[in-house]
Amino acid sequence: MEPAKTLEPIPGTIIFDGAMAVKGYALNKMCYTFNGAAGRQEFLADEDAYCAKFGLTPEQTKAIKERNVLALLDNGGNIYYLAKFIGMLGLNVQDIGAQQTGMSVEEFKAKLVAAGH
């Protein structure tokens, strides 16, 4: 059977497929180490050195430094591994939802509540 044909894009959504998994491998590998306290400490002690250790591209390193979730996703970041990075910073999924949609956190939370009405 042939692989699926090109699918109609879903606005505001990146499908994390093989191409994205290749593009983001180093970035996601770094984020995977944030499961452990040792990885988190080493990153926080010297962010540039830690990004270099994993061979992140300049775009990925910039997105990490700026905590820019949309740029991290564009550069192959996978939300489940990025969640380790986000969690380490003390942010939750409403915080990054607000960042990605250009809303305040309160506005974003209100949007979620409104979905129930």
Contacting positions for other proteins (CB under 8 A): 3-4, 7-8, 10-18, 21, 25, 28-29, 31-32, 34-37, 40, 69-70, 73, 78-85, 87-88, 92-94, 96-97, 100-101, 108, 111-113, 115-116
53: left (phi over 0), alpha (psi -120 to 50) or beta: alpha
Our CB check for other proteins shows the closer of 59 and 87 to be 87
Least distance to other proteins from the beta carbon of 63, Å? 14
Q: Is residue 83 within a helix (H) or strand (E), and if so which, with residue range?
A: helix 79-88
Least distance to other proteins from the beta carbon of 55, Å? 15
Least distance to other proteins from the beta carbon of 44, Å? 13
Least distance to other proteins from the beta carbon of 47, Å? 16
* Half-sphere exposure in the Cβ direction for 52 (13 Å, CA): 4
CB atoms within 10 A of CB 64: 24
